[in-house]
Chains A and B, each alone.
Chain A
């Protein structure tokens, strides 16, 4: 193939040489009309068709067929018959205007050929029918044409189909001459549907009720019950979370825990409340923008939390990284996730070059990228409904108490102003960090004289900042701690609470013209807008000795602690959850005025030693965004915001009232945080990156969508943010891939393989769908029914196709081993999480609470310590019933994934995954046989069996077997089990041990962890 591809252009080049060298003079001489086939087509074939031909249609333009060439591409018509001078085909090849000359990256067309093109268009662009690629052949690839509702095929066995799904399946089977399988038995069907819809096996009572229900719609009733179960959302959330590359840690070397479980719970609830899928997508892409018009704080929070999808990218805070490089890596990851999870299109390749197989150009990739490239990476405070209620109560109570006090001091604003400096009294000193002093932390200059600490966050550092000032007679320096949307909870600190502590503030000055003449600045007094009482640092910031009680914990307190020369004390700004996240400033007054007439070199040392022992964990207690300025005021003061609190606290007579307010504040909930997107006010430019390298930006691009997909919808309002329009585009009714990609993945979850085998790529390179009309019917039905996911499930699980027995007959084994034709029901080992959940459910240990922070079930502790892991990690094994939560809630460290789940093919969240592999390995056997929690389950099931299983061994045996498989054993199975039990009962005196052994055997059966 490669050789032929090489030869084609060469061949045409040769023939063109012939044309240009021989025919063209003829044309020029006689001014005979240009002949398309003889004169133009070779030019197009040689110079254009590689990128605008059958294989690729860059910019949506295809020039080898009449219909497409005349239709034009993404940027409109390329050929305007009669007007060569204004036709882009001519203009672009001639290199006119400021757009790159075509052929892109190739040799410019010689003037003779340009003249031919222009004249051909001028003469009316005649293109004889039948010349060039034909219309039938230029049909777009099926995946890029929006699905239309197909007609239901006729079938011979009209009695079998229960709904249209079956018509498509049966029609294919009849065509292949294959018979469908009979309906499976009721127990297997209920177990199958329960595992599929909730990820949990049915209880004995549920099985009994179903068996007893002989009404015609007995099964449909069960389906409704399962769809209404809160566990339905858990099951389908897990599938989405794979695609959303969900994990509870940052990844890379530090792999610190992060707080994203609000997003996980949002996904669960979205499925449970059957949030239409189009809105489900829109909210994840632009929830923060939709939150601007939310009706309540609760709704706004939900919408913001949804953007956690985009923030599930990994974060690298390894020492010495360039934060911009890894912001770009995260952007690439987001593009990949949007492509795989939402669009079902592989777009990653175009990060570096034009997509080789699908018609996505690199420019189009970066146009898509531009939609997402304008966000802050925020970490927002979030509250559960209970916490929010409490918070509202606290806020209104404080407001009430403060307004009563305000009435007693009507002139408080004027008084406050007298205590405050004016912003104009201070001159900013532009400082830059000395690389070597930061310990690999980076200080980004923010353009307003402030710096944002980013990248690595050491827990102990003494950062050296240097800058110049022309001021003389400087009486004081001021340190402002500023808010920033990229800091936790908005800052102003870098700790997980958005706070920081300043151990010492030190400065030196030297004349600019003699930098070696360094003089220390002595500070005699410090003032600040916040001066808290002395308090020991929180446990997360403590050193090992402090934690062990061998040393008193270091303290934070008033700003004087920042100039007391004592490393144990620091200026603290953490004023509790309601008030800790606000800008702060401190003023340090020098013993005598300083500043050299020829300019002063100012060196500031920020000593921040109040972080904890482990820089590989969330233990930093650093300041986030800061700015330093100087003043010549005789009596320098901090700049105070208009906050009544600052004043009332200074009124001694109000001690009781102040104490009461503080008491109310103390009732404010701590809340949690969630990684979210937050739109930037100032637009960030997007450039094409050469080979995806952020250091090689090329042409700037505007947001836009690829030509081979549907068009961007019109803005709903003139000021609709681009990302919101993009979100509506992804979830648009006319998207060729969005609905197909989702229904295909849902199908895959049920049958083990999708209708298209490659759910990550519904494109030119994907294998053809096994049932293309069924795929389209499901997609159209799904969209036209309002994108209701539960309706999609109903259509599938109530079909006769789904209800078939999964038995693999010799004929099917021969003809359709992989069940692509769907002549039988699915039989597959369940996913890793469900392997665990089945053991917990069967043993009665399962704690089926829905939602909340991730939990730490038993795990080998050495895995979380060096040298197994890079840094020491926290794994506080849950002691109570939290250890028996569903596996969905198991804390997920990306670099040290939970081994039980890894052994069962659970992805670790590094990248979006829309298809798990399904292996069958000895490590899995060791896991279910010996892993501590599985053994606990065996013990618990043994105990339960002895207790509740009946009076006789036989009853008990059946009881235990049913708990694992939902059915009763056959006679042969019972004989085998009885023999096993008898032997163990003889060996072990204590009956409990024999029953534990029995339970362990049953939990390890293939059937127990299989959906039949």
Chain B
């Protein structure tokens, strides 16, 4: 019982002051004030390059000579026992990798010709070839990767991070979301939602052209001076009301308006890529004014420099049920250079050491082929896939885990999505079993009742 009281009074997170305030229905303390995690963090910021649609590990990261050898044959029957596929009859022919692989860096990571830029920074990466998930449809898979649950209504990883660490910027949202590619993520806004924790922790969608934040610009006819006059008068009037009512919430509102005003000047400056030197633009492949994944990567670096805690880039384009060869080339062209450039750029600015960069999708793709005629696709596959990470105290130049000879199941060092979350939270300074939020009479966690920190991934 004593330990419980201690939590209420002194533990910074969990059943802490913040949660209690929320229970009281009040926001008197700034919920975004910077907070200390459970222990000294290795990382303070997160970038999640979310490759929505689920990239093929077999074409990019996980070279399987045996799959090549057995191309065109049926998979072993015992492999398919209890296996469910989304579109195909699981008993479909195997398809060998469509691209060439070679070894890179001192780590000797075996990567395909599709991602030369990523290959060039292989020694900075922590590659996990043994990811597994529970979901094999997009929306549930993306939700699981983002919120630790296939069901809607849970806070996202970014929201948990903000809840635990607060914000280091007062001029910008602390959790920013971009979207590029063919479409938005299958999971929709819930991928960056706050679930049952306060809404201030949800991600804010940015656009890489026009107003980055909705309603950022003054309405037509309202110039800078009028905006300032308006806010000054509003502040004085609100102050009068504060004196009359004594409600400290009015003070928070006054501050919110001031922050909004600051955001109006800081956000356009932030979004203006034309001030970046040409060699940096070239490094990312970014073109000012032309929305792209590359621009979003460069904007991400600028956001991190300005104290933004969590940036998530969705690139939904990887659902290659057909036209695998052509489309994966396009996707890699769109993402490989910029993803690698972001890592390099953060590194050269000293930001990588306390920033975690994550690259990956919601699941993998089947070793079996999908399609008729000249089949050229792969179906959804939850049993094995690859993700890579960089920075944030993770072990660089590491290739963790192995799949079986066909890339079907994980053979060694299985890392479940919950384990990944536990590990990432660990790097942010949290014991994932203690970063909790009480709801419906229960302490909820990002990792639910699962998850183990993957020590092998840590530097």
Q: Which residues of A contact B (CB under 8 A)?
A: 1, 251-253, 255, 314, 316, 318-322, 329, 332-333, 340, 346, 348-349, 356-358, 434-437, 439-440, 752-753, 757-758, 760-761, 763-767, 806-810, 813, 817-818, 820, 827-829, 860, 862-863, 866-871, 894-897, 899, 902, 905, 908, 910-911, 915, 917-927, 929-932, 935, 938, 970, 972-973, 976-977, 979-980, 983-984, 987, 993, 996-997, 1000-1001, 1004-1007, 1012
Contact = CB atoms under 8 A, between A and B. Distances in A.
Contacts of B233: 976-977, 979-980, 1001
Given A322-B84, A818-B24, A870 B246 contact: no
B215 A927 contact: yes
24 contacts: A252-B139, A316-B140, A318-B186, A346-B441, A434-B89, A753-B24, A808-B248, A820-B24, A860-B214, A870-B184, A870-B316, A917-B200, A920-B252, A921-B200, A925-B257, A926-B260, A929-B215, A930-B217, A931-B215, A976-B233, A979-B233, A996-B221, A1001-B237, A1012-B245
A357 B442 contact: yes
B207 A862 contact: yes
Nearest 5 CB-CB pairings of A with B? A895-B188, A320-B86, A765-B441, A866-B183, A253-B186
Given A818-B25, A925-B253, A980-B229, 12 more contacts: A321-B86, A760-B440, A763-B441, A764-B441, A863-B205, A869-B188, A895-B188, A908-B193, A925-B260, A926-B213, A926-B216, A931-B214
A806 B216 contact: no
A318 B173 CA distance: 32
Q: How large is the interface on B (under 10, 10 to 19, 20 to 34, 35 or more residues)?
A: 35 or more
B442 A349 contact: yes
Most chain B Cβ neighbours within 10 Å, of A818, A866, A923, A935:
A923
B244 interface: yes
Nearest to B257: A925
Contacts of A867: 179-184, 314, 316
Contacts of A866: 181-184, 316
A926 B263 contact: yes
Interface in B139-197: 139-140, 151-153, 173, 179-190, 193-194, 197
Contacts of B441: 346, 357-358, 758, 761, 763-766
Contacts of B252: 920
A356 B256 contact: no
A930 B184 CA distance: 26
A983 B237 contact: no
Contact of B189 (A318, A439, A895, A980): A895
B187 A918 contact: no
Contact of B238 (A761, A924, A984, A1005): A1005
A931 B218 CA distance: 9
Contacts of A935: 219
B23 interface: yes
Contacts of B1: 1
A817 B151 contact: no
Nearest to A255: B188
Interface string B190-212: 10011001111000110100100
Nearest to B230: A1001
Nearest to A318: B137
Contacts, number: 280
Contacts of B199: 902, 905, 917, 919
Contacts of A926: 213-216, 260, 263-264
Nearest to B202: A902
Interface in B219-253: 219, 221-222, 225-227, 229-230, 233-234, 236-238, 240-241, 244-250, 252-253
A923 B442 contact: no
Given A899-B214, A935-B219, A976 B24 contact: no
Given A763-B441, A922-B259, A983 B229 contact: yes
Contacts of B210: 862
B234 A1005 contact: yes
B99 interface: no
B253 A314 contact: no
A333 B248 CA distance: 38
Contacts of A984: 226, 229
A340 B441 CA distance: 12
Contacts of B193: 908, 910
Most chain A Cβ neighbours within 10 Å, of B139, B221, B230:
B139
Nearest to A347: B440
B348 interface: no
B116 interface: no
A860 B227 CA distance: 22
A765 B441 CA distance: 5
A860 B181 CA distance: 19
B273 interface: no
Contacts of B86: 319-321, 440
A813 to B, nearest CB: 7
A558 B353 CA distance: 70
A757 B234 contact: no
Interface of B: 1, 3-4, 22-28, 31, 84-89, 92, 136-140, 151-153, 173, 179-190, 193-194, 197-200, 204-205, 207, 210, 213-219, 221-222, 225-227, 229-230, 233-234, 236-238, 240-241, 244-250, 252-254, 256-257, 259-261, 263-264, 314, 316, 370-372, 379-380, 439-442
Nearest to A352: B449
Given A329-B151, A357-B442, A318 B138 contact: yes
Most chain A Cβ neighbours within 10 Å, of B193, B225, B259, B260:
B260
A938 B226 CA distance: 14
Given A346-B440, A808-B245, A867-B183, A917 B198 contact: yes
B250 A760 contact: no
A248 to B, nearest CB: 14
Contacts of B226: 984, 987, 997
A340 B261 CA distance: 39
Contact of B24 (A329, A757, A938): A757
A12 to B, nearest CB: 21
Contacts of B204: 923
B89 A435 contact: yes
Contacts of B190: 894-895, 908, 910
A358 B151 CA distance: 22
Most chain B Cβ neighbours within 10 Å, of A322, A761, A860, A921:
A921
Nearest to A353: B449
Given A827-B245, A922-B263, A320 B137 contact: yes
Contacts of A915: 25
Given A929-B215, A980-B229, A440 B200 contact: no
A239 B200 CA distance: 21
B230 A997 contact: yes
Contact of A436 (B31, B87, B152, B257): B87
Given A435-B87, A870-B184, A316 B137 contact: yes
Nearest to A752: B25
A870 B26 contact: no
A862 B234 CA distance: 32
A255 B187 CA distance: 10
Contacts of B254: 1006
Contact of B186 (A252, A436, A911): A252
Most chain B Cβ neighbours within 10 Å, of A809, A813, A895:
A895
A520 B210 CA distance: 57
Given A356-B442, A894-B188, A817 B26 contact: yes
A593 B187 CA distance: 52
A918 B27 contact: yes
Contact of A919 (B27, B207, B215, B372): B27
Contacts of A938: 219
Contacts of A813: 246, 248
Contacts of A911: 151-153
B64 to A, nearest CB: 23
A807 B244 contact: yes
Contact of B198 (A919, A927, A976): A919
B439 A868 contact: no
